[in-house]
Structure 1
Amino acid sequence: MIGSLQSLRGIFAIMIFLHHFPINGKGWFDAGGPCGVDFFLILSGFVLCVGYENKVLSSDFHYRHFIFKRLIRVYPLHIFCLLNWLIIQIIATLLNFNVILKLIPNIVLLQSWFPFQSIYFSGNAVSWCLSDLMFFYCAFPFLIRIFVKNRKKAVYSMGIIVSAYLVLINIIPQDKIHYIVYICPLTRLIDFIIGMLLWQLYISIESSVFVKQITDMHISFRTLIEIIPLLILGIAICIYPYIAECYSPCAWWWMPMAILILTLTVFNKSGGGYFHTAQ
């Protein structure tokens, strides 16, 4: 894992925590939730490409083994958190048959496929994201083969899909926006694919003259360039409260996150600025 991106995991995890930390009935850091979730979903697509692209394309790749390794990373903790939630419900005498019934999709990490808040937020509510991730993991081997086979066509197709998405979300009924834009695995797959495309872009520029020019820069200039994506992200966070609800949970963060992840990855290759040196 690239060190600078690894460090950002902790920062964005704190942002998500603050989003869920209630003050007067509202999260302390409202933008932290959608911003952090978008970072992790895009980063997941990017990191899987880093670690598994060549393995997936090799002749000895085993799909079931790959899925098992992904599952074993998330499922034990998911069940542990769910059991703790159940204990709290039992103590508070809030558990009933209806609640247990709605937990079934949660147990098998399928809750985000149901467009009902009582199901996708059942049990440990934030585990809806794990449900999305498991879908992405299942799709990854197929997607990476498509990208490698024809990168240009994949980029064009993604451009069409994103354009259609940005238009269509404007006509979603108000009461459906949260699920379709923020929770639904099919729409959040776009975030994951953006991460995969960032990796393809990085591959195309990692040995370019551009990276060589960055390497030759003084460390102070490299540091200034590293700060730019952080400033862009800061501006996006400040403007977030004024963004339309159909864009703010997801699409609003695509560009800042893409710039942040790609910049830090390129600078990791070139030696980086003070942020990399300090690690």
Structure 2
Amino acid sequence: MISSLQALRFIFALFIFAHHFPLRDGEPAALLEGTGPMGVSFFLVLSGFVMSLGYADKVRLPNFSWGDFMKKRLIRLWPLHILCLLIWIVAASRQSTFSIQPLPLLGNFFLLQSWIPMVEAKGNAVAWCLSDLIFFYALFPWLVRLRAKQLVLGVLAYFGLVLAVGSALPLETSRGFLLRDWFFYFFPLSRLVEFCLGIVVYHMYCRAEAWHHVSWWKRLSPSSRAAVELMPMLCFGGVLLLVNSYGIVGSNVYAYYLPSCLMIYIFALSHKSGNQGAVSDALSRPWLIYLGEISFSFYMIHYLVILIINRVFSWVYPDEGWALRLVVTLGITIVGSILVNKYFERPVAELLSRGRAKGKSPISS
């Protein structure tokens, strides 16, 4: 994994945290409005890029096993999802006004919640993204085999189809469910565009030397490299302001396509050239890389921690402002992420991987 991109995983996880952190418990105003969708879009494009970086060559081997590939992905995602879902069930059962629906809960358990247009299917709300990722991973071995031109043309045509279908849907159902928002934001078939864009960025990364982008980067002065690395960050900020100002349904998804691709390609190019800019260098600090490594745990538990700490503060310090609650919540989320990663996520993955290796055929990969 490219160190600067690893660190950016944590920074964008912080943006998602800020989007979910309410300034006042029970009210919609958040610490940073709109940064959650921005972070999710970056993660989905990054997933396509990183998956290609690690597996593009492996899927072409004659002994590649789709089943073993998917088992490895599930081992990485599913155990922590189940742990967080159990915590959510316990927390939700403590609220007398909330009823847990068995059928949507079963769909949530099997990571199918993004396919279900129901509020009741959410569970640990942020886990919807895993439902999408599992679907993307299942298609990945075929997507990454496409030639770059085929993939680009396919993505353009597919995006047009997504826009056409989404725009034709009603804004909401008779029950008040925001159907069009669900289609653009949660539905796996719609979010597939971003994962494919990550694979497109990987193809660009592979051609960076042939396109003379690497030699161009090396010719830049240190200040110019830093300016180029800051460019996608400014682009993200500008798009965020536009999305928050106009609020068109779906724009909080497709508006971030370009900034996400641009950021990943620039920092990957900086790494490939061997001459990192000042921003890449700053992001390559060991402690930031480590926080990037635990970003999945951070993402999975942060919403639960926010809910629980908000409830505790409403009991103990009902008149306390948001600043102290923010410090406590963020601190507990980071420490909790470290503990969950060290004592649950990694040990369980290693245990399940050993069991998988024992039953693995000699030709599987």
Q: Same fold (TM over 0.5)?
A: yes
Amino acid at match of 1:128: W
Aligned match of 1:251: 254
Closer, same or farther: CA 94–70 of 1 in aligned 2, 3 Å? farther
Amino acid at match of 1:54: D
Q: Aligned residue pairs: how many?
A: 273
Closer, same or farther: CA 249–277 of 1 in aligned 2, 3 Å? closer
Deviations 1:97-117 (A, max 9, x none): x52332000001011111122
Determine if contact 1:169/1:246 at 8 Å carries over to the other structure: no
Aligned match of 1:131: 131
Aligned match of 2:160: 163
**Counterpart-to-counterpart distance in 2, 1:34 and 1:95:** 26
Aligned match of 2:150: 153
1:56-135 counterparts in 2 under 5 A? 56-93=59-96, 99-119=101-121, 121=122, 123-135=123-135
**Counterpart-to-counterpart distance in 2, 1:262 and 1:167:** 29
**Counterpart-to-counterpart distance in 2, 1:59 and 1:94:** 55
**Counterpart-to-counterpart distance in 1, 2:10 and 2:209:** 26
Determine if contact 2:128/2:186 at 8 Å carries over to the other structure: yes
**Counterpart-to-counterpart distance in 2, 1:21 and 1:95:** 21
**Counterpart-to-counterpart distance in 1, 2:160 and 2:104:** 35
**Counterpart-to-counterpart distance in 2, 1:69 and 1:116:** 29
Amino acid at match of 1:245: I
Aligned match of 2:235: 232
Closer, same or farther: CA 117–92 of 1 in aligned 2, 3 Å? closer
1:192 correspondence with 2:191:
no
Q: TM-score, normalised by structure 1?
A: 0.92
Tell me, which stretches of 5 or more residues in structure 1 are unaligned? none
Q: Which moved more, 1:213-222 or 1:49-58?
A: 213-222
**Counterpart-to-counterpart distance in 1, 2:98 and 2:143:** 41
Deviations 1:146-187 (A, max 9, x none): x1xx33222212222223333443333212211100000001
Percent identity at matched positions? 37
Determine if contact 1:206/1:266 at 8 Å carries over to the other structure: no
Q: Following TM superposition, by how much is the alpha carbon of 1:221 offset from its aligned partner in structure 2, in angstroms?
A: 1.4
Closer, same or farther: CA 46–226 of 1 in aligned 2, 3 Å? same
Q: Which moved more, 1:198-207 or 1:231-240?
A: 198-207
Larger helix percent: 1
Which structure has the larger Rg over C-alpha atoms? 2
Q: TM-score, normalised by structure 2?
A: 0.71
**Counterpart-to-counterpart distance in 2, 1:113 and 1:206:** 40
Tell me, which stretches of 5 or more residues in structure 2 are unaligned? 173-178, 285-365
**Counterpart-to-counterpart distance in 1, 2:246 and 2:55:** 36
Amino acid at match of 1:240: V
